Amino acid sequence: MISAMSEEPERSVMAALPHTRTHRRSEKRAAPPQDKPRAEPPPAAPAAAPAPAAAPAAAASPEPASPSTTAQIEEILALTVRAGLELAEIGVSAAARALRGAVGRLPRP
């Protein structure tokens, strides 16, 4: 009976998949990036180049961020802080559990 069942080789799920990646892409994905021509490296500056003159203060300072960008940055920072606090809470609870377990194994006087 067992020999009749073992006549067919057992195929795994991974064996049923193709060995190479298909060349067609899903319509949900963006088109693959096209190869961009590489920029040539800038010419080497002379060793004894004079220092550039100081730029005007208005040109040196960046434009202030728009209110929507600032709100997005604040939201990202708040989310990051919350995630950090949550990870810290998980770490503290794991450390407390480990400490309780270690203290529980100590011999009592």
- In the block, tokens 């195929």 appear at 11
Instruction: Look at residue 97 and tell me if it is in a domain.
Output: yes
Q: For 74, left (φ over 0), alpha (ψ -120 to 50), or beta?
A: alpha
* Residue 75 lies inside a defined structural domain of this protein: yes
Report pLDDT digits (tens) over 34-53. 666 566 655 665 555 555 55
Query: How many structural domains is the chain composed of?
Result: 1
Q: Is 106 within the bounds of a domain? A: no
pLDDT-derived band at 108 (thresholds 50, 70, 90) equals confident
In terms of residue numbers, what domain contains 87?
A: 66-101
**What integer pLDDT is reported at residue 79 of this predicted model?**
96
| Within-domain flag for 45 | no
The proportion of the chain whose per-residue pLDDT surpasses 90, expressed as a percent, equals 32
In a domain, 95, yes or no: yes
Kindly tell me the burial class for residue 67, based on how many C-beta atoms sit within 10 Å of its own C-beta (0-12, 13-18, 19 or more). Answer: exposed
Please check whether residue 91 lies inside any domain of the structure.
yes
pTM for the complete prediction? 0.37
- 50/101 Cα distance (integer angstroms): 68
Closest CA to 104 of 96, 25, 65: 96
For residues 30 and 7, give the distance between their C-alpha atoms in angstroms, rounded to a whole number.
46
- pLDDT, position 102: 95
Residue whose pair of structure tokens reads 């899903």 in the numeric block: 26
Q: What is residue 17's DSSP assignment?
A: S
Residue 96 domain-assigned (yes or no): yes
- The 10s digit of each residue's pLDDT in 1-34 is 555 555 666 677 777 777 776 666 667 777 666 6
Q: What are the structure tokens assigned to 47, written together?
A: 């060793």
Classify residue 93: in a domain, yes or no: yes
pLDDT digits (tens, 9 = 90+) for 50-81: 555 555 555 566 777 677 888 899 999 999 99
